[in-house]
Each structure stands twice: as structure tokens, then as C-alpha cells.
Structure 1
Amino acid sequence: MSSAHKKVIVRRFTSETLPGYLPLSGFVRNRSIDLLDLSGRVIPLGLNDIKYVCYVREFNLNDTANPERLTRRTFLAKPRTEGLWLRLTFRSGDLLEGLAPIDITLTDDLIHDAGIQLTPPDVRSNTQRIFVPRTSITELQLLAVITSPSRRKPLPASSVPSLQEDLFTNLIPPNTRPN
């Protein structure tokens, strides 16, 4: 686990937002998180109260309605980046789409049934990554599996014709050549 803490804004179901710091992974313990707030205090938050956690570039504390600046919640077209294109429905009824990684990091928090990490639809916005607790999701849809274009795989060495056998046949006298 990385000891570095990143800037986050925690959105609760009460529409309250809490700015603070969390590590990128391994921060869920006993169905809660310990948010390090801006004054240096640790605030325990239960996963049942959290709608999502946004990893942000800036806190934007002057914007009380949308400090995470998560303006686009769905993709305008098929994403170009690799990943699982997911659509989540929250307990409050609103939707969020994102890309989940197609590697072992997908299972990091799912092992403990804690939640899922997503890349938001607009990566140029203030929000770089989103953690959604399992308890805030009522429906999860897999829209597509986005992969890179397939490349032609090299043929195995056994199926490639070898020129090595015929390379020195002219140097061996004809009556001593193997058949």
C-alpha cells in the first residue's frame, strides 16, 4: 500500500461533501474509511453513508454545489481507453458511467465487497478517479469490454519453415548426404 495520500472529495447521500486525503487503495477497513481532513483530524465514515469518493486535482472549496466538478456522468460515445465500460445506478436513482480496469486492480476492493474504482467519462475534469462503495450501488451494468485493436500474433517457431536444414547440403558430398 502506498503511504502517499491523495486529495479526495467524499460525497455523502445527504449531498454533503467532505474534502480530505486518502490513499489510492487499501483504505476501507471494517466497512468504513478514515478520512484525513484538511485540519489534520481523522474522521471515520461508514460506507453506508458514502455515495462516492472522487480523487481530485483541486478541492474547489468555493463551489459548495459541485466541488469535484463531475459535470459529465456518462460517455458521449464509445470510450477509446481500455477497460470495462460500466453503468452504475445509485440508491438515489442517478446514474454514473466509468471505466474499470481490466486487470488485477479491479478485484482489490471487490474481494472484501467494499466497492469499485472507476475512471470518469471526462478525465480532463477535476475528478481523475472515483471510488464507489458497494453499498451505494443498486444496479451495475456492463456496457462493453473495450480492448486495444488486436495485433497479429507471431507464429510459433515450430510452424515456421526452417532454412537451416538446406543451408549446408551443397557442402556435403552427394553420396554422404542423409536422406
Structure 2
Amino acid sequence: MRRITGETVPGYLPLAAFVRNGTVDLLDLSGHVISIGLTDIKYICYVRDFNLNDTANPERLTRRTFLARPRTEGLWLRLTFRTEDQLEGLAPIDASLLDDLIGDAGLQLIPPDIRSNTQRVYVPRTAITDLQLLAVITTPSRKKPLPKSAATSLQSELFNTPLPPNTRTN
């Protein structure tokens, strides 16, 4: 977890439903529960390793924007924090986006570099000053099959059209 002040607090949280009454109860590495207000949190990174020796960037969130259009499906968002720095990420297209905004009072994002130490980022609404939707990334379009009733009606119209009188053959 990174606070607005820049301080990092390593610990454990579930993936969802961890915000209660405007606070987050974090289980720190010594086994104590620390309550931190959402207004003090800049973002929470779900990481593979805590990297406690790295005091400057333990979450190793080095690339904060996408180099090109993302390949994964989702909403490509750009967030501007109260500290005036930015972060891009992919949010889900389904209703879980709204569930996160309402229930957890923030957004769950997949960061630009999924091979880095950070696998997922939670950003509380109180830390965001600007939110831009850059694109809706979907799978490549496929031809949708016509319903059977439409296909048969098109076919019957095609072959049941009378020919002009001079072109009839016996």
C-alpha cells in the first residue's frame, strides 16, 4: 500500500470487500491489523514479492503507461492522482467495475506491465482527481451468425422471385 505522503506499508488484503466505513484494515507483516483511512491511501498494489530492501519502489511499478494499445480486453483508463502523477490501467468491462466503485469505493486495474511485480492495483476514488476513458478494448469482431428464421426467409426470397417473362426456360 502506498500512502499519499509516499510512504509504503506492506501487508495483506483480500481482493475485494476490504473497505469498511471508509477505512482499510491491513494485516501487516508482523501480524497486527492496521486501520488506514481511504483519504490517506494513494493506491494498493497486489504484488508477487514485497521487496522490502527497495525503499523507493518496492512494488516495482516502473511503467505507468501503455507503450501501445493494450491487447487484453477491458476499459483503458488514465487516472490522475491528487499528487498530479498519472497511472494507466485496464478495468473490467463487466458489472464488477461498478461493484468495485460502490462497494470498495475505488477502481481495480490491471497495470500496463503485467510481467512486473505488481499484478493488480486498487485506487480509491479519494485519490483520483481526473479519470479518462482512453479506449474500449474488445476482442476482434467476428461475423455473427444470422438467426435461422432470418436465414431461411432470405434464402426463400432469393429463390422464389419470379423471373422476367422472356427469360423462362422449359
> Which TM-score band applies after superposition, normalised by the shorter structure?
0.7 to 0.9
Paired AA for residue 99 in structure 1: L
What residue number does 1:152 align with? 143
Tell me what 1:119 maps to: 110
Distance between the aligned counterparts of 1:135 and 1:161, measured in 2? 56
> Among the aligned pairs, what percent are the same residue?
76
Paired AA for residue 67 in structure 1: P
* Secondary structure of the structure 2 residue equivalent to 1:132: strand
8 Å CA contact 1:11–1:52 kept in 2: the answer is yes
What is the letter of the counterpart of residue 48 of structure 1?
Answer: T
5+ long unaligned stretches in structure 1: 1-9, 163-179
Gaps of 5+ in 2: 154-170
Correspondent of 1:89 among 65, 68, 80:
80
Equivalent residue, structure 2, for 1:48 = 39
Normalising by the residue count of structure 1, what TM-score does the alignment of the two structures yield?
Answer: 0.83
- Report what 1:61 is aligned to: 52
1:119 shift after superposition:
0.3
Number of aligned positions between the proteins: 153
Answer yes or no: is the 8 Å Cα contact 1:113–1:134 preserved in 2.
no
Displacement of 1:159: 2.1
Is 1:140–2:127 an aligned residue pair? no
Counterpart of 1:133 in structure 2: which amino acid?
A: P
* CA deviations over 1:119-144 (Å, ceiling 9, x no partner): 00000000000000000000000000
